[in-house]
A and B are shown apart, each in its own frame.
Chain A
Amino acid sequence: MDLPTLWFWIVAFLFVGYFVLDGFDFGVGMSLPFLGKDDTDRRVLINTIGPVWDLNETWVIVAGAALFAAFPEWYATLFSGFYLALLLILLALIVRGVSFEYRHQRPESQWKGRFDLMIVIGSAVPALLWGVAFANIVQGVPLDADHNYTGTLFDLLNPYALLGGLTTLLLFFTHGVVFVSLKTEGELRERARRLAVRSGIVSIVVAASFLLWTGLAFGTLWFWILAAVAAVALIGGWLANLRGAEGIAFTLMAATIAAAVFALFAALFPDVMPASNDPANSLTIENASSTTYTLTFMSWVALIFLPLILAYQGWTYWVFRKRVSRATIEAATH
């Protein structure tokens, strides 16, 4: 495998990390109105991701930086092309992040309610728009000879891309709700499990239609293999959740998202941003990448630091492995 191809898969890996990890943060955020019956419940929900949402979100920053360093043309075309969609994602991530930190600073219920709403919006908007963005990348967008996007925001909101958005929204929602059942106790845990059964069915239907559409239109051998893995994992996860095997259900949901995202990258390969108007204008791994010098250096850095990063992040999850209960929240100082 040559270096640009290696970096194509490293970028894919970073986005997989981001969607698997921040994906359940989005799901937990979106579940507040469904699962958070009172303030203590909502605090339990938020505290299931309290220690980790920031490191999960950091995956997108690193993915973005890797894209910039390894594929400057891809980064430039994507970010300037999907301008308003990314603006909405940024604003959503801003309000979500500060809300986690600010919500508990004051006791008034009006104050908390406002930040709860911001968490819900700040989670739902990126969950939807990341799917829209990636579906558009796979489908191709109009690009001129200088690789600049020539469409508008509304060109991005086509049926295929909206189905992609709905898929990520539902997958992240279910992923997050399964995570809640894994990380909480008592009544909340049971309600989360039951909600995941219901949202899981919808997720299976929608995700299957999206993957089928993608496969029929843009499928490659590797896409079909990975999409099949995703489908099996999703159904397996749903069954595991039905039987109350939360750990297995969560692992399989994570596998679903990972396989689905890898499948999209496989459908994209060897393009990175196909031009829908003229294939000659497409951005490919070849013409979008950085020099061998830069990629060699970056490969060494990634080789040394990615295992280290995975190790200390894994350790964090181990430290905070205990379930969050209403009792812990009520006993805590603030």
Chain B
Amino acid sequence: MNELLDPLLLARWQFGLTTVYHFLFVPITIGLATTVAVFQTAWFRTDKVEYLKITRFFGTLFLINFAMGVVTGIVQEFQFGMNWSEYSRFVGDVFGAPLALEGLLAFFFEATFIGLWIFGWDKLPRGIHLATIWCTAVGTIVSAYFILAANAFMQNPVGYEMNVEKGRAELVDIGALLTNPVALAAFPHTIAASFMVTAGLIISAAAWHLARNQHLDTMRPALKFGLWTMVGAGILTTLFGDQLSLAMVATQPMKMAAAEATYDTVCGADASFSLFTLGTPDGTSELFSIRVPYLLSLLSTHTFDGCVEGINDLQAQYTELYGPGDYAPIIWVTYWAFRWMIGLGMLHVLVAVVGLWLTRKGRMPKQRWIWKVAIWSFPLSLAAMSVGWVFTEMGRQPWIVFSLLPTESAVSPNVTGLDVLISLVAFTLVYGALAVVEVRLILRAIKKGPPELGEPDPESGRIEPATTVY
């Protein structure tokens, strides 16, 4: 019973649950806002009705998803104070600033312009209306920057000084905080990965219709767009992921060691990357593995003869620096999350390249199984994104702010295990129920296909969008 009511454990589960859940909607919001803006721009410039249909089709998916992103986002901000009050007291002077910037610069912007976009079709001039979706898209991306800058402080604290008397970190250099090397790499990596997830959604939706040989006028260009986006975003995700892993090795070597389950420091050819490892159940030694020599050295240092510090050596170093304790994250989680993220990501790029080849010059494959494979793009790319977050956040453990504050010291001291249990159960139930509704609505909207838009206006020769209401 005591175990069950441990506030720290429950608060961690709650943070994990609500964050992973919130982050299912974030990448789709980021990617779809831009996608919708791109197709609406195409319609604006060409007046081709297909582009308006695609805009409306993905616009509906965007809005169903956006609502969930907004409401689950409020929980994120309140949760720091509710479950992690000691953390809030410790970092507020530093960490609060990017959150406030996010609110002032991005959230207001997004929330205002999304309303103008949804309801402004017949109330704003076409060009202004187009600008509103671009503003929304910019808002989502700016918001990602600030929240990643805040998160980067937890991974690699910079721009602060410790105030021992007050027992808190204090901001001394906002420029350093906002140009944290971890943030500068994590931001483009995350944005590019968001576009991969969105490309996955577009490919899945288009494949569902193309497999049934319907809505060809809209779903073929949508598929093309999705496939190219997947390839382009996949390349960028990899390049910036590489930058991020360099930053990670420099700032959090333990996370890289844990990603690779490297217990002892290895150099050169021995710094091999294991693609697959079977170990003994206690995880201390391996039974079988497939390894690529030099690859880990290349990933971590961009040289063939680099060294990668092992978990045991880092543990010894940290014990000396920070006192006795266990400074390694849960190795099997980081090891497998890292592999699933990279593996699924690579697989998607491969599938997209094959897809581009199969659909070259207007070809449409007839085999049902090809489309069935394509439909898996969305759930699997979303899974890749989620495990990426699980990796980077669980890889930070046992620290909540690396090297400054252990997670166990950050939890609210006056919140009881029962309080957290009640809220964890409540969030699980509400989020679970909403997930069922959300998935059904998304599937229904995808299957319904793009809307029929009626005849063009005889005077202007173009479709005049109807009034939108709830």
Contacts and interface: CB of A to CB of B under 8 A. Distances in A.
Given A54-B70, A55-B111, A333-B468, A291 B170 contact: yes
A302 interface: yes
Interface stretch (A59-67, A168-176, A235-243): A59-67
B423 A64 contact: no
B52 to A, nearest CB: 13
B86 A83 contact: no
B96 A50 contact: no
B77 A64 contact: yes
14 contacts: A54-B111, A61-B107, A62-B107, A65-B77, A68-B100, A90-B74, A94-B74, A98-B434, A100-B67, A103-B470, A146-B413, A324-B469, A332-B467, A334-B469
Interface stretch (A192-200, A222-230, A256-264, A308-316): A308-316
Interface in A250-287: none
A62 B108 contact: yes
B73 A61 contact: yes
Given A57-B74, A75-B88, 7 more contacts: A80-B82, A84-B422, A100-B67, A106-B444, A148-B412, A290-B93, A334-B468
Prevailing SS type, chain A contact patch: helix
A51 B92 contact: no
A65 B112 contact: no
Nearest to B87: A76
A105 B107 CA distance: 25
Interface of B: 63-64, 66-68, 70-75, 77-78, 80-83, 85-86, 88-89, 91-97, 99-105, 107-109, 111-116, 118-120, 123-124, 168, 170-172, 174, 412-415, 419, 422-423, 426-427, 430, 434, 437, 441, 444-445, 451, 466-470
Given A97-B67, A320-B119, A86 B104 contact: no
B433 to A, nearest CB: 9
A54 B115 contact: yes
B419 A76 contact: no
Contacts of A316: 112, 115-116
Nearest to B441: A105
Given A54-B70, A293-B170, A87 B96 contact: no
A54 B100 CA distance: 18
A43 B469 CA distance: 8
A64 B469 CA distance: 30
The 9 closest A-B pairs by CB, nearest first: A72-B92, A79-B81, A69-B96, A101-B67, A62-B103, A80-B85, A76-B85, A80-B412, A76-B88
Interface of A: 43, 46-47, 50-52, 54-55, 57-58, 60-62, 64-66, 68-73, 75-81, 83-84, 86-87, 90-91, 93-95, 97-98, 100-106, 144, 146, 148-150, 290-291, 293-294, 297-298, 301-302, 305-306, 309, 312-313, 316, 319-320, 324, 328-329, 331-334
Contacts of A65: 77, 96, 99-100, 102-104
Contact of B430 (A73, A95, A105): A95
B71 A80 contact: no
Contacts of A54: 70, 111, 114-115
Find the residue from A66, A71, A98 having the highest chain B CB count within 10 A.
A98
Contacts of A57: 70, 74, 111
Contacts of B89: 72-73, 76
Contact of B108 (A58, A101, A301): A58
Contacts of A329: 469
Contact of A291 (B63, B93, B101, B105): B93
B74 A328 contact: no
A68 B81 contact: yes
B379 to A, nearest CB: 21
Nearest to A88: B426
B68 A84 contact: no
B145 to A, nearest CB: 14
A309 B82 contact: no
Contacts of B68: 98
B92 A68 contact: yes
Given A65-B96, A309-B108, A320-B123, A50 B71 contact: no
Contact of A60 (B74, B80, B114): B74
Contact of B104 (A72, A305, A332): A305
Contacts of B116: 51, 316, 319
A106 B80 CA distance: 36
Nearest to B97: A69
Nearest to B170: A291
Contact of B74 (A61, A149, A301): A61
Contacts of B437: 98, 102
Nearest to B101: A301
Nearest to A95: B430
Nearest to A45: B470
A319 B77 contact: no
Nearest to B99: A65
Nearest to B146: A65
Given A57-B111, A65-B100, A72 B123 contact: no
Given A100-B67, A290-B92, A320-B119, A87 B103 contact: no
A148 to B, nearest CB: 4
Contacts of B444: 105-106
Contacts of A71: 92
Contacts of A100: 67, 470
A5 B286 CA distance: 61
Contact of B78 (A79, A105, A144, A320): A79
A176 to B, nearest CB: 16
Nearest to A290: B93
A66 B103 contact: yes
Contact of A62 (B72, B100, B422): B100
A52 B117 CA distance: 11
B60 to A, nearest CB: 9
B70 A97 contact: yes
A298 B100 contact: yes
Contacts of B71: 93-94, 97-98
Contacts of A148: 85, 412-414
Find the residue from A65, A75, A293 having the highest chain B CB count within 10 A.
A65
A46 B73 CA distance: 22
